């Protein structure tokens, strides 16, 4: 299994531009999560999906952020317009619900820099 | 408001000695706790977990202790090895929410030769 795949690995853009981050979860995993990592706040949960349906988007910082999951093998996180404070590492993770707690499987992240 | 707190941003430990990473939480409704390890330029990977009905879980060199009355858990690594140098995240799951994991800010562990 290739694991969770994120693209691009690095993204540098100018303030005001649209940014789209992509994620392919592990096949068969029902849950998909988007996290953001910053020094100040650590790993923050932005939004997660179950069977392609958004369940909780309370962590999405502003209306500038949106996420979609058009099918079980693909999700996007879009920032429009981007701002310098959006600079962070964005992680996608997926999991398969088990009887106890299901560990999240993370991708290698997208490092976003907004200048 | 951080529900999962890791108050030590970094920790240095001599190779071969014990590493102890600490974590505090504020929500008494957490029923599962997890530790993740993260190397640079990689995503976090699951390390070990513990249910709130237990006070200890051991897996090889890694042991997690849970003190519910103090709302505190710790990860012990014995003996520490160079490959243990990484950022360690403490995480918790609210009861009945097997889909939501809340993370702390992480502690960077340096294993000194």
B77-104 pLDDT per residue, tens: 999 999 999 999 999 988 876 667 889 9
Q: Could you tell me if B57 lies within 8 Å of chain A, comparing CB atoms?
A: no
Does A11 score more than 90 pLDDT?
yes
In angstroms, the CA B2 to CA B102 distance is 9
- A113 pLDDT band, cuts 50/70/90, is very high
Please count the residues of chain A: 115
- Token readout for B102 is 């809340």
- What tens digit of pLDDT does each residue of B28-66 get? 889 899 999 999 999 999 999 999 999 999 999 999 999
**Are A101 and B41 within 8 A, CB to CB?**
no
B56 exposed, middle or buried (CB, 10 Å; 0-12, 13-18, 19+)? exposed
Q: Among A25, A33, A32, which residue's Cα sits nearest to residue A6? A: A25
Say which of A33, A41, A101 has its CB closest to residue B49. A101
Q: Evaluate if residue A99 carries a pLDDT over 60.
A: no
Residue A96 has which token pair?
Answer: 């398969």
- Is the pLDDT assigned to residue B20 strictly greater than 80? yes
The total of other beta-carbon atoms located within 10 Å of residue A6's CB is: 22
Contact B49 A109 (CB under 8 A): no
How near does any CA of chain B get to the CA of A92, in Å?
Answer: 9
Contact B29, B92 (CB under 8 A): no
**Closest chain B residue by Cα to residue A31:** B99
| Mutation site for A-interface testing, chosen from B3, B99, B106, B107 by largest number of A Cβ within 10 Å | B99
b/e for B7-44, b at 16 or more Cβ within 10 A? eeeeeebeeeeebbbbbbbeeeebbbbbbbbbeeeebb
Give the residue from chain B lying closest to A43, CA to CA: B103
The pLDDT tens digits of the residues spanning A22-80 come to 999 999 998 999 999 998 888 999 999 999 999 989 999 889 999 999 999 999 999 99
Query: What local confidence, expressed as pLDDT, does residue B1 receive?
Result: 66
- Give the model's pLDDT for residue A114: 97
Spell out which residues of chain A touch residue B105, defining contact as CB-CB under 8 Å. 41-43
Assign A97 a pLDDT band (cuts: 50, 70, 90): confident
Q: How far is B79 from chain A (nearest CA, A)?
A: 25
For A49, name the nearest residue in chain B, comparing CA atoms only.
B99
What distance in Å separates the CA atoms of residue B72 and residue B78, rounded to the nearest whole number?
20
């Amino acid at each position: 299994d290739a694991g969770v795949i994120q693209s691009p690995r690095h993204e540098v853009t100018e303030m005001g531009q649209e940014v789209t981050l992509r994620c392919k979860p592990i096949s068969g995993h029902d849950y998909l999560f988007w996290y953001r990592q910053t020094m100040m706040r650590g790993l923050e949960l932005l939004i997660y999906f179950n069977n392609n349906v958004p369940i909780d988007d309370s962590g999405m910082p502003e209306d500038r952020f949106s996420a979609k999951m058009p099918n079980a093998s693909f999700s996007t996180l879009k920032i429009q317009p981007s701002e310098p404070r959006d600079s962070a590492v964005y992680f996608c993770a997926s999991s398969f619900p088990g009887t106890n707690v299901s560990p999240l499987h993370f991708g290698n992240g997208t490092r976003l820099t907004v200048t | 408001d951080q529900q999962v707190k890791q108050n030590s941003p970094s920790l240095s430990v001599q190779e071969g000695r014990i590493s102890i990473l600490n974590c505090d939480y504020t929500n008494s409704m957490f029923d599962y706790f997890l530790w993740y390890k993260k190397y640079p330029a990689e995503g976090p990977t699951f390390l070990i977990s513990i249910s709130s009905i237990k006070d200890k879980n051991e897996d090889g060199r890694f042991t997690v202790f849970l003190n519910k009355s103090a709302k505190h858990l710790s990860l012990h690594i014995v003996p520490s090895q160079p490959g243990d140098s990484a950022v360690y995240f403490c995480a918790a799951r609210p009861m009945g929410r097997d889909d939501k994991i809340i993370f702390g800010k992480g502690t960077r562990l340096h294993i000194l030769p």
